[in-house]
Structure 1
Amino acid sequence: MTLADRLGIDLPILQAPMAGAQGSELAIAVSRAGGLGALPCAMLSPEAMAEELETLRAATSGPMNVNFFCHTPPAPDPERLARWHAALAPWYVEFGLDIEAVPAGAGRRPFDHAACEALEPFRSEVVSFHFGLPAPDLLARVKAWGATVLSTATTVEEARWLEARGADAVIAQGLEAGGHRGLFLTEDLTTQMGTLALLPQIRQAVDVPVIAAGGIVDARGVAAALALGAEAVQVGTAFLCCPESRASAIHRRALMSEAARHTALTNLYSGRPARGIVTRLMRELGPISEVAPAFPLATAAIAPLRAAAEAQGSGDFSPLWAGQNASRCREVPAAEVVADLSRGVID
């Protein structure tokens, strides 16, 4: 049985879950086109997640991938937070904002019992995780209703770790991928490889199916990944300009401009490395900064700057997540993107 058969999809095309940039509309469109749509839940309350899942179930009978983060919420570090606020203070002054009024709040929640309780009635066919896997009791509960479990690996060691702890398939996330790196066994960015280097190494190291992610935007990329042993591909950036995406107008303009050719890993927007289009914030503070609070605590102080700049039509302080290959990011329906990815590759 192929992975596509196991997932219940016609095409080995997975839409990457993109928290903050999409909701159920994109997942539904990809599902209807024969791929596997994904609903990112890291920024949703259990109640909001349930509403989105109700919408999904009403709109399509196809399988769905429901995605969660598995980070451990950090302990408060007042000294580090003070250094972070000091670093951002000049921009707060520029926009006439009060750094002392920054609200507390993480903005990202890990998979927990409340999320599992809300998810269980929907019996999601696929549940995927970023930053490892949840606690064994939570993972067992997900598997008990028959869900196929996916998780992201950025190194061979992470892939082996995931297989040993129950992942049914591994997503090999190359360095080209947009959004948050899935690394969880190390914070050393020198361990991160490009997709075409990482994929065959993970394929050789594990017995579970491998899904390729990072830099894949067309049928040629799909063919290359399949030739190197992937059973499916996961694509994110190519869907961001689709009408079913919730990416902002500022984000869309950046993706379809020359700016999209210049991306970098940054921890400024959340506290963890993530790939996005280089912004003023990244240029002036440096894309990776030791003063950024631990994930996801950096988000709170960035949010007011982002809102103020976006009100002026600027993405200078916005997380413009994008992979290194945004060449096929177009304003076309998601179904057309899926068809382009599979054209001439899938019989």
Structure 2
Amino acid sequence: MTDTQLTATGLLASLGAEIPLVAAPMAGGPSTPALVVAAADAGGLGFLAAGYTSPDELAGLIAQVRRRTGLFGVNLFAPNPTAVSANAYARYREALLPLARGYGVELPQWQTSERDDDSWDAKLAVLTRAPVPVVSFTFGIPSAEVVARLHAVGTLTAQSVTTAAEAALATERGVDALVVQSYAAGGHSATTTPAEPVAEIAIEQLLADVRRASDLPVWAAGGIVTPEQVRLAIAAGAEAVAVGTVLVRSPESGASAAYKRALAELGEGDTVLTTAFSGRPARALRNAFTEGFTSLAPLGYPAIHFLTSPIRRAATQAGDIDAINVWAGTGHREARPDPAAQILRRLAGEGLAR
């Protein structure tokens, strides 16, 4: 540890971390056991993303990580579906059909788009049978009873929040820490009210708002990609910083080759907050899909996620970066193909001049 390198404090230090950096959970592939272990090797904390996995798959991923390190967490999608009408679904499906036909894939009909809770109860059972150090939640805020169940087996809990009101409710439910996510974050917004616009509030101001609403430790997230931004967030009251996009191109990331290539080739482009891929606000690099479908896409998660999945899978296999979701925060230009541990140590200040 150098004199200029930041050191972990508070809750993160109590978990065994040495630097105040968290490898954020990125569902759908990027967050692999290798990435989580690399975060621990750097002295930080890495999260497995339970979203879109089966309970058995989650148990297997946890076992893989546990063989290498005891310093890790698991992120869960807390159930908070957004309804979409049959008519709105049908209109969007019709708009997507030409693209689907081009890939030779079938799109699900309305009646197959059932509400889905991402195996919430079964995943909680996995985490209470074989407890992990920390569990975080996104999309929804779990009940106090769920938080108490995890506390009873020795697991700390963290809640992703995007507003002071969400922070206050999460505090009331008994969580141990808050992950304060700004509008600049890549991938899905953690908002619990996806029908409302995501406010464009700078992370420093958002941290101040949340700290007035809660006295819990806060971790900053969203668009933070340089050592200077990390230090600014910590100076603004964050105990730690969670990063995602900056790790996507690392060798340990499980992001597809198409996703990594898109981050490199579309790197000079802008990002857009879109519901086109999943029916939930999410920040992605602009491509033909976002340009063609953002204005047409209804809210409706997870129904719209399942509707577009066949297209996105086929496009990924074909290496077509114009039809995949290239989740990226506003700082995506800093994403490099460096080892994840090296990226995290750099963000913590390793190698900075005095």
Same fold, TM-score > 0.5, yes or no: yes
Q: Distance in 2 between matches of 1:168 and 1:146?
A: 12
After TM superposition, list the pairs within 5 Å mapping 1:1-347 onto structure 2. 2-20=10-28, 21-61=30-70, 63-73=71-81, 77-99=85-107, 104=112, 109-110=117-118, 112-185=120-193, 187-259=195-267, 261-285=269-293, 287-289=294-296, 291-292=297-298, 294-343=300-349
What displacement does 1:96 show?
4.2
Percentage of pairs with the same residue: 34
SS at 1:191 equivalent: coil
Q: Distance in 2 between matches of 1:68 and 1:192?
A: 25
CA contact (8 A) 2:37 2:65 kept: yes
Q: For structure 2, list consecutive stretches of 5 or more residues without a partner in the other structure.
A: 1-8
SS at 1:172 equivalent: strand
CA contact (8 A) 1:153 1:159 kept: yes
Q: Distance in 2 between matches of 1:122 and 1:303?
A: 31
Letter in structure 1 aligned against 2:40 = S
Q: Distance in 2 between matches of 1:212 and 1:135?
A: 23
Q: Distance in 2 between matches of 1:261 and 1:238?
A: 16
TM-score where L is the length of structure 1: 0.91
Q: Distance in 2 between matches of 1:107 and 1:222?
A: 38
Q: Distance in 2 between matches of 1:6 and 1:111?
A: 30
Q: Distance in 2 between matches of 1:103 and 1:125?
A: 39
TM-score where L is the length of structure 2: 0.89
Change (3 A) 1:95 1:169: same
What displacement does 1:183 show?
0.6
Q: Distance in 1 between matches of 2:18 and 2:171?
A: 25
Change (3 A) 1:298 1:239: same
Change (3 A) 1:123 1:209: same
SS at 2:216 equivalent: coil
Q: Distance in 2 between matches of 1:183 and 1:64?
A: 24
1:12-52 CA distance string (max 9 Å, x none) = 11110000122211111101211001000011111101101
Change (3 A) 1:98 1:53: closer
Change (3 A) 1:12 1:288: farther
SS at 1:133 equivalent: coil
CA contact (8 A) 1:43 1:108 kept: no
What displacement does 1:103 show?
9.8
1:68-114 CA distance string (max 9 Å, x none) = 01123456743332122112122234444444679946797446321
Change (3 A) 1:113 1:305: closer
SS at 1:272 equivalent: coil
Letter in structure 2 aligned against 1:32 = D
1:290-345 CA distance string (max 9 Å, x none) = x4351111122212222333343212221111100023211111110111011168
What displacement does 1:230 show?
0.6
Letter in structure 2 aligned against 1:172 = V
